[in-house]
Amino acid sequence: MSEMIAAEFPFEPHFMEVKNSRMHYVDVGQGDVTAVFLHGNPTSSYLWRNVIPHVASCARCIAPDLIGLGRSDKPDISYRIADHAEYLEQLFVKLGLEQARRQTVLVLHDWGSALGLDWARRHEKCVRGLVLMEFITRFPTWLDFPERGRDRFKAFRTPGTGRERIIEKNEFVEQILPASVVRPVSDVEMKYYRAPFLEPKHREPTWRFPNELPIAGEPADVYAMAAAYERWLLATDLPKLFFWGTPGALISEQKAAWYAQNLQRCKAVHVGEGRHFIQEDHPHLIGKEIGAWIARNLT
């Protein structure tokens, strides 16, 4: 019998003031290694609730909510990737991650991967290893973007249309999220995911994120950031653990095979059937693999 996927979020809240706003984070477990779990759009540390318990026995586990998401404050900012990077940088400084040589394992998904890989490229001496799943890479043209979501994401980037669908109709939370999980997402789980975005004015990050995707050279600064961390990722010999599913979303089976072959010191794990939010379909497999990988290779 497969293990239950818990809907409740059992962790005590922690808050850190960053740029006059509070950022929420989970902080559990202990060990010489600190595993930092970074989420993307439109999720939060809640995404990692069933993964973290498997890792907390061998590592300190920190899972922040990006600014404007989860339980973090929602300041009146543009929510560009540069904004998220600045808030995250200051949070990491306050948590002492920049002072810890080779002690941080980054567990990365979606926009958390872009932000985490950018940070890791600039602070490689702090990083012990990388865990990757459904991570963001550049799309040189729209034809390189996944066909299943191409028209929808073009609409999200169309002035007027995108804001109506995401800000007014909350489409990212109500449609894309549950459609990107294989199993049915329960009412309790959807309540957690909806909670940060009950008011349209709080949905600004969920609209900005698809408009920040590095597609066909735009936005230029995000495209350049992704180009830099992609080059670094292929060159670095830091240990890596890479999860992928079938059919995948951002990472197709073909793309997964290429990364499994071309990333140095990389263990690739096929989780089975999975779309984008593979942590909601295979959290125990992912958590056990991360815990065993850290215990075997990094401690």
Residue 201 domain-assigned (yes or no)? no
168 is catalytic: no
Q: Are 97 and 124 in contact (CB under 8 A)?
A: no
Residue 176 domain-assigned (yes or no)? no
118 is in which domain, residue-wise? 14-149+213-297
- Cα-flanking dihedrals φ and ψ of residue 44, to 5°? -165, -170
Q: What is the pLDDT of residues 142-191, one digit of tens each?
A: 999 999 999 999 999 999 999 999 999 999 999 999 999 999 999 999 99
- How many distinct structural domains can be found in the chain? 1
Catalytic residue among 134, 189, 280, 289, which?
134
Catalytic residue among 24, 39, 54, 276, which?
276
Question: What pLDDT does 1 receive?
Answer: 42
Q: Are 271 and 282 in contact (CB under 8 A)?
A: yes
Catalytic residue among 89, 110, 204, 280, which?
110
End-to-end Cα spacing for the chain = 31
Q: pLDDT band at residue 102, thresholds of 50, 70 and 90? A: confident
CA 43/CA 173 separation, integer angstroms: 9
282 is catalytic: no
CATH number at residue 145: 3.40.50.1820
Residue 184 domain-assigned (yes or no)? no
**Closest of 120, 104, 280, 118 to residue 212, by C-alpha:** 118
Q: pLDDT band at residue 2, thresholds of 50, 70 and 90? A: low
Residue 288 domain-assigned (yes or no)? yes
Residue 142 domain-assigned (yes or no)? yes
134 is catalytic: yes
CA dihedral (67, 74, 198, 204) in degrees, to 10, reads -80
Residue 141 domain-assigned (yes or no)? yes
Residue 161 domain-assigned (yes or no)? no
Question: What pLDDT does 3 receive?
Answer: 86
Integer angstrom CA distances of residue 237 from 69, 233, 234: 32, 8, 8
Residue 197 domain-assigned (yes or no)? no
